Amino acid sequence: MPRRVRSPVERYHDRVAGVYDGIYAGNAYWEAIFAVTWRNIVRHLPKDLSSRCLDVGCGSGRWGLRLIRAGYSVDFLDISQKMLDQAANRLAAMGKTSIRLDCLNTPSPAPPGPADPRISRIWHADMDNLSALPDASHDFIVGQGDPLNCTEKPRQAFKDLARLLRPGGVLLLSVDNRLQGIDHFLGKGDVEGLEKFLRTGRTQWIADDPNERYPITMFTPGQIRGMCRERKLELVSLIGKTVLPLRRFKDLLDDPAKRNALLRLEESLHGEEALLANASHLEFAARKPD
């Protein structure tokens, strides 16, 4: 059988998987982002610890592993085998059992069978094709670090994620904010490009190596509202991450007192509609009606 050709997004994440966590470790700015992210996740978690969670675009497993430590059963899904290897190693180091399910190299995998709360399923899958995952299988789905951006058909991927939710379940996704892409086109004097970008949200992830660039879609708050309406999900929260220019003033985050005060301010403002345009990322939680 001919070898499957990896997509650019898969190749890129396979290459960086071994160093991925190190990129963020010990950086005050990223630590602050992670603190805000975790507190926002906690706000939307199911009350019942027997709920089953899914970390999509899980990377090395940062958020899914935290959910496991919080007491939930968690499945993991990513397009990058190497990222999944990192997550699997960390699960094993925690003494947790997992099984690997491969939808990318096995185009028609056997149905996964009943879920065991003690065993994490690790899906090697593309969010552009989630057909192997059963309907209404998860109570909480988290996708941090913008995996929906990287899909070829984000509306279809969103539809599939909504399908995986059980009634009453919540989908929490971060996405790139389209309103933050405007300067890039204006800086190049590319008004035609700007018009197209604002219409479609399509652009490229700018990697140093041109072979590692891959297409992405950036989203507007209005579009997020539209996708939720279309899938009959209730939008329970939409925040900017971050609405304060914390990256520009990241040195202030080295001082614990200033950091805590700034994060308090950030979290008191991050749902303000007028400030969403400031944020490089939008993060939303959408609930499937009971």
Alpha carbon distance 227, 289 (integer Å): 15
Alpha carbon distance 142, 272 (integer Å): 22
Do residues 160 and 224 lie in contact, with contact meaning Cβ atoms separated by under 8 Å?
no
Determine the angle formed by the axes of helices 81-93 and 62-69, rounding to 10 degrees.
20
To the nearest 10°, report the CA torsion of 224, 143, 77, 232: -40
Alpha carbon distance 79, 100 (integer Å): 13
Which one among 109, 145, 193, 215 touches ligand SAM, defined by CB under 6 A? 145
Which one among 53, 74, 141, 150 touches ligand SAM, defined by CB under 6 A? 150
Closest Cα partner for 9 from 143, 122, 152? 152
Q: Is residue 58 within the footprint of ligand SAM (CB under 6 A)?
A: yes
Distance of closest approach, residue 9 Cβ to ligand SAM, in angstroms: 5
Distance of closest approach, residue 177 Cβ to ligand SAM, in angstroms: 15
The mark string for 63-102 relative to ligand SAM (x by CB under 6 A, - otherwise) is: x--------------xxx--x-------------------
Considering only the stretches 120-128, 193-201, 220-228, 266-274, report the one whose residues sit in contact with ligand SAM under the rule CB under 6 A: 120-128
Amino acid present at 267:
E
Q: Is residue 147 within the footprint of ligand SAM (CB under 6 A)?
A: yes
Amino acid present at 98:
S
Q: Is residue 127 within the footprint of ligand SAM (CB under 6 A)?
A: yes
CB-nearer residue toward ligand SAM: 82 or 184: 82
Q: Is residue 128 within the footprint of ligand SAM (CB under 6 A)?
A: yes
87: Cβ–Cβ under 8 A, 6 or more apart, which residues?
Answer: 58, 59, 60, 61, 64, 65, 76, 78, 122
Alpha carbon distance 96, 238 (integer Å): 33
Q: Is residue 217 within the footprint of ligand SAM (CB under 6 A)?
A: no
Considering only the stretches 139-147, 200-208, 215-223, 270-278, report the one whose residues sit in contact with ligand SAM under the rule CB under 6 A: 139-147
Considering only the stretches 67-75, 122-130, 131-139, 217-225, report the one whose residues sit in contact with ligand SAM under the rule CB under 6 A: 122-130
Which one among 41, 45, 53, 59 touches ligand SAM, defined by CB under 6 A? 59
Chain contacts with ligand SAM (rule: CB under 6 A) = 9, 13, 57-59, 62-63, 78-80, 83, 126-128, 144-145, 147, 150-151
